[in-house]
């Protein structure tokens, strides 16, 4: 494993890593170049063990991180990734912020997955509507991995799960939890989930999550963005059950990732040996 040292922040070999803090520029660049960024040692470690490891274009590592990251870097370079290293000032000038964690990777974006194919064998699905905050979306993926979710479905208005902050906050679990976008909800959701039991999490849900009784067959938990929550069209659909998390007087909602974690813990306790 040999790292290529780069001392010039204008070197074209660093193009994939430029202006990482500008969401609009990154959206355009990543869409045109078919790339996404994985940032932080833990997320890059997850990349090395994920189905996307072989799609890694390159890894950019600060000089002080080379030795500590050696096994992970070796695994990625063995699969064809190019390894670059640079001093801290070059990393900062390229990325647009101080890369304290000192490691980022550029990975080819995968082709879109059919939501129907994705859920055809899934026992538990997390469906997400309107979550456009990248950090909340990343936290949802981390929760999905923790509670044994088989697939994540995103409506057309959700943020990009491959965006750098989503991947980082998910601790790299975006790379391992299968996911796909559906058409507009509720039709897109129901078309993708077939005969599954669909539970919509809302403050005014008819049933508490804890009181649900197990049924055979797949289950879908649908959550919406903080503030607006799930749309009325979803909550009013006759094929969708509404559920709630009981809360103390004066509190009517939780952060979307927190609420999903509470609900998933009830739905999956028996599957992960806690029930």
* Domains (range + CATH), the chain: 4-108 (3.30.1330.30), 115-268 (3.40.1280.10)
This prediction's pTM:
0.92
Q: Is the dihedral of CA 259, 263, 264, 269 positive or negative?
A: positive
Query: Residue 121 and residue 150: Cα distance in Å, rounded?
Result: 9
Q: How far apart are CA 139 and CA 200, in angstroms?
A: 19
Confidence band, pLDDT 50/70/90 cuts, at residue 274: very low
pLDDT tens-place string over residues 95-111:
888 776 789 999 999 99
Give the rounded percent of residues in the chain with a pLDDT score beyond 90.
80
Over the stretch 34-73, which tens digit does the pLDDT of each residue have? Answer: 999 999 999 999 999 999 999 999 999 998 889 999 999 9
Say if residues 245 and 201 touch (Cβ distance below 8 Å): yes
Please give the pLDDT value at position 19: 86
Please tell me what DSSP assigns to residue 122.
Answer: -
For residue 212, what pLDDT is reported?
A: 85
H helix runs in 173-213, sequence order: 187-193
pLDDT of 89 > 60? The answer is yes
């Amino acid at each position: 494993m040999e790292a290529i040292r780069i001392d010039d922040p204008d070197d074209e070999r660093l193009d994939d890593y430029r202006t990482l803090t500008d969401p609009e520029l990154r959206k355009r660049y990543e869409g045109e170049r078919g790339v996404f960024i994985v940032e932080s040692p833990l997320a890059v470690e997850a990349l090395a063990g994920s189905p996307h490891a072989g799609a890694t274009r390159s890894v950019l590592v600060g000089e002080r991180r080379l030795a500590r990251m050696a096994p992970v870097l070796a695994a990625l370079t063995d699969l064809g990734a190019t390894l670059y290293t640079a001093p801290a000032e070059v990393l900062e000038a390229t990325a647009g912020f101080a890369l304290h964690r000192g490691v980022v990777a550029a990975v080819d974006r995968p082709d879109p997955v059919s939501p129907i194919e994705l859920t055809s064998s899934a026992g538990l699905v997390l469906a997400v509507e309107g979550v456009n905050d990248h950090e909340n979306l990343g936290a949802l993926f981390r929760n999905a991995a923790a509670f044994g979710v088989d697939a994540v479905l995103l409506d057309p208005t959700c943020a990009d799960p491959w965006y750098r902050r989503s991947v980082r906050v998910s601790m790299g679990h975006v790379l391992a939890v299968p996911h796909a976008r559906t058409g507009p909800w509720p039709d897109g959701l129901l078309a993708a989930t077939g005969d599954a039991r669909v539970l919509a999490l809302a403050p005014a849900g008819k049933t508490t999550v804890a009181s649900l009784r197990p049924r055979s067959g797949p289950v879908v938990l649908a959550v919406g963005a903080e503030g607006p929550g799930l749309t009325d069209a979803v909550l009013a659909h006759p094929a969708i059950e509404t559920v709630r998390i009981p809360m103390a007087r004066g509190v009517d909602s939780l952060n979307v990732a927190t609420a999903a974690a509470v609900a998933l813990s009830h739905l999956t306790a028996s599957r992960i040996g806690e029930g």
